[in-house]
Structure 1
Amino acid sequence: MRLAHVCRIQVMGFGLVLLMAIALTIQLLGIHFPKRSPQSSALRLLSPEPPSFHRTCQPKRHIVFLKTHKTAGSTILNLLHRYGDTHALIFALPFKYQFNYPNLFHSRRVKGFNSPDRPPYDILCHHMRFNRPEVRKVMPEDSFYFTILRDPATMAESSFSYYRSVSSAFKKAPSFKAFIAHPSYYYREGERSNHYARNLLWFDLGFNPNAPFTEVLAKAGMRAVESTFNLVLLVEHFDESMILLKEELCWELDDVVTFKLNIRGSSRQLEKEEVERLRAWNALDWYLYSYFNRTFWEKVEGFGRERMDNEVRQLRERRQQLAELCLEGTEPVGAEDIKEEAIKPFQFGQAKILGWAVRKDLQPNIRSRCVRMVTPELQYKDLLDARQFPPGTQNRSYPVVTPARPIGR
């Protein structure tokens, strides 16, 4: 026992001498190990490791997104804005903020379209009422078309809150509960902005929302959508939708990481009977939603359930990482709490629209990238407009192609 104790002391002494020798060598050679700063950690977070697998596909650059109303379209618009901005893609931009909505889309509403020497457009994504023949005039033949749908019951609740000040049917109703009970009493076809009050998805897709429901008509609309759009996403399964979109576009995970934009401060919980009434009132929308809900899960099965679960988890973890890096808090805040006009959400209707406050203790290049992730659609559209039609070239009627650059530079 005494011998073992002596041996342990000798081993410990040898280890101590060895550590002192290593320290002395480092000091003599002038070797030093710099400490990692919080900013260097932030840079690593903004520049994740490349995927470990080899992708054989090529990222799609020609994209048409039909931004339907009250369906998380503003959030998707942000990821398209960022991707196009980063890669210096050319957007088909409206002269203002929408393509003459609620009228059907027309190519003449695209800024610079009639110029004979304009470059081809890469992305068309701002609010319009879909009109396939005119869209095809603007966008390349190989464009990828996608849109997003929402359960018409919750969509109606959101629309009532947001568009009550403009829709004749909504304004007549003393409350949303009253509208649900007797929608036909308040609704008149052709009255101002009443397209917001019935079959709004059907309307945005370019169809007649007041057509009497028949299965033949509903199937014809469904087939038209299916033959045009390569992918139909669902609001209720937004993260799974982003994974499918990433896969179809051959993009990277960070390309589809988003923070929710244009969100309301509160919403009304619907009762089961109210849900059924609203779905019946919006029967054409409900038919579309029900059909594409089935095809959505067929795509998930084809993708692989286990793989989908893993990728959704990675997406949420990445979103959380960037939220902790970029944002002052984990919850969205009111516009009055956001001092920067560049990221303050536009307020419309009786609903309180929330946004995000970005941390101020970040390096300028890091903070700029964070700001772009929360920039609302109106402000981002202005940024893109300024890039494609820079100051001093107001007389030019076609977009200017600029080299690709990192976001915020």
Structure 2
Amino acid sequence: MFLKTHKTAGSTVLNILNRYADRKSLRFALPYNYHFNCPSYFHSSYVRGYNDFDKPHYDIMGHHMRFNLKEVKKIMPPDSFYFTIFRDPAKLAESSFYYCRNDFPAFQKAPNLKAFISNPDYYYQQNKTLNFLAKNPTWFDLGLKHGVPFTENMAREGVRIVEESFNLVLLADYFDESMILLKEELCWELDDVVTFKLNARVNFTHLEANEVERLRSWNDLDWYLYVYFNQTFWDKVERFGRKKMNVEVMKLRRRRQQLSKLCLGKQTPVEADKIYEKSIKPYQPMTVKINGWVVKRNLKPSVRAQCLRIVTPELQYIELLAARQFSEDVQCPVGKSNMKQMKNAS
């Protein structure tokens, strides 16, 4: 069970889970659209095809939700492995501001990011639910009490809840090391965790040191969690072995480079208007441009199917998995030819 937190490389991690479920013919707990009814707390009824009478079996879960462990346990087996991913709150805030500019009142009200950073209290309205990405968004995603002032006791309670709920907390800022830890925990192969960055913006805004500090201070509960789980992350790396981690990360990057040369028409991500296959064209929010990847066409069908999987965005992958899991006719945007290639390679 992967809690996909906002703006933390979660789409890239989700692609790993999608591919694994796809290849192993596992049953994915899917939402009816692209998330589990955020910003509401997760409920089992939000899972496509689930009902309290039949209680179908699910193997993997991983789309956006506001975490509710009690309801998640209705869906996932008792021995499920729970993990999530955190990111430095300053970087997360910069990404959220641009990606969700039109969706959150606090961001809409601010003329630009620097104005928001200089006086976030002025733009933030606590009573507006749709401001949850404007302050402590990871705390919100975890299902913890939101919109409350920071206290040491509350922050420690948040740490306790996370430690009791999750077997592993990854860090987006150390993505490759995170993938190695995940691979080891799940006893997976290297190719299971090789990925290309998905849902990444074209441009980024450089933050000055004082702006980083302001954003961390503003997102105080998230920063407390990040500092704590940054320490536990590196404790795990130490137990794994620093030298061993360096070797494994080099293997991962080497394999990513090999797959890049094998699969991709261009070695760098491209803007969506240069991607002509709908099956791998990323969704474009109104406020930013999202990069994607071009896959070579002159590949063997089985190889091209593998390559397509690695770059398929989550919206298209939801429909691909849904088409396989449900008997009803599901309109699948991946395209018949690409679906056929993927099926043949399964």
Does 2:91 match 1:164? no
- 1:393 deviation in Å? 9.2
Distance 2:272 2:117 in 1: 30
- 1:118 deviation in Å? 5.1
Does 2:195 match 1:238? no
Distance 2:316 2:303 in 1: 19
Q: Secondary structure in 1 aligned to 2:82?
A: strand
- 1:209 deviation in Å? 2.7
Distance 2:33 2:107 in 1: 26
5 Å-filtered alignment, 1:43-54, equals none
Structure 1 ranges of 4+ moved more than 6 A: none
Q: Secondary structure in 2 aligned to 1:144?
A: coil
Distance 1:368 1:83 in 2: 14
Q: Secondary structure in 2 aligned to 1:180?
A: helix
Query: Of the candidates 331, 339, 359, which is equivalent to residue 276 of structure 2?
Result: 339
Query: Of the candidates 110, 128, 146, which is equivalent to residue 173 of structure 1?
Result: 110
Preserved CA contact (<8 Å) 2:50 2:56: no
Distance 2:22 2:276 in 1: 24
Does 2:315 match 1:374? no
Distance 2:276 2:202 in 1: 18
Distance 1:407 1:274 in 2: 51
- 1:113 deviation in Å? 1.4
Distance 1:408 1:101 in 2: 34
Distance 2:158 2:129 in 1: 25
In structure 2, relative to structure 1, the CA distance for the partners of 1:388 and 1:281 (3 Å cut) is: same
Distance 1:407 1:227 in 2: 41
Preserved CA contact (<8 Å) 1:71 1:149: yes
Distance 2:49 2:206 in 1: 45
Q: Secondary structure in 2 aligned to 1:196?
A: coil
Distance 2:149 2:108 in 1: 24
Preserved CA contact (<8 Å) 1:82 1:407: no
Match of 2:29 in 1: 92
- 1:352 deviation in Å? 0.9
Match of 1:110 in 2: 47
Q: Secondary structure in 2 aligned to 1:148?
A: strand
Match of 1:215 in 2: 152
The Cα offsets for residues 220-254 of structure 1, whole Å up to 9 and x where unpaired, read as 00110011100000011000000000000000000
Distance 2:43 2:289 in 1: 33
- Percent of paired sites with the same residue: 60
Match of 2:336 in 1: none
Match of 1:37 in 2: none
Q: Secondary structure in 1 aligned to 2:133?
A: helix
Distance 2:345 2:312 in 1: 12
Uncovered stretches (5+) of structure 2, i.e. residues with no partner:
332-341
Preserved CA contact (<8 Å) 1:86 1:406: no
Q: Secondary structure in 2 aligned to 1:263?
A: coil
Distance 2:14 2:270 in 1: 20
In structure 2, relative to structure 1, the CA distance for the partners of 1:202 and 1:280 (3 Å cut) is: same
Distance 2:286 2:238 in 1: 40
Query: Of the candidates 185, 189, 196, which is equivalent to residue 126 of structure 2?
Result: 189
Query: Of the candidates 121, 130, 137, which is equivalent to residue 67 of structure 2?
Result: 130
Preserved CA contact (<8 Å) 1:209 1:284: no
Distance 2:218 2:280 in 1: 37
Distance 1:392 1:158 in 2: 37
Match of 2:85 in 1: 148
Distance 2:316 2:238 in 1: 38
In structure 2, give the amino acid aligned to 1:343: I
Preserved CA contact (<8 Å) 1:259 1:373: yes
Shifted more, 309-318 versus 201-210: the winner is 201-210
5 Å-filtered alignment, 1:65-76, equals 65-76=2-13
Distance 1:190 1:240 in 2: 38
Match of 1:226 in 2: 163
TM-score normalised per structure 2? 0.94
- 1:67 deviation in Å? 0.2
Preserved CA contact (<8 Å) 2:319 2:330: no
- 1:364 deviation in Å? 1.6
Match of 2:256 in 1: 319
In structure 2, relative to structure 1, the CA distance for the partners of 1:407 and 1:348 (3 Å cut) is: farther
- 1:111 deviation in Å? 1.4
Distance 1:336 1:234 in 2: 31
Preserved CA contact (<8 Å) 1:279 1:286: yes
- 1:137 deviation in Å? 1.1
The Cα offsets for residues 96-140 of structure 1, whole Å up to 9 and x where unpaired, read as 111111100000111121163454110011110100110111111
The Cα offsets for residues 278-329 of structure 1, whole Å up to 9 and x where unpaired, read as 0110000000000000000000000001100000000000000000000011
Match of 2:230 in 1: 293
In structure 2, give the amino acid aligned to 1:371: L
Shifted more, 313-322 versus 346-355: the winner is 346-355
- Tell me the number of residue pairs that the alignment of Structure 1 and Structure 2 aligns: 336
Preserved CA contact (<8 Å) 1:85 1:407: no
Distance 2:319 2:127 in 1: 32
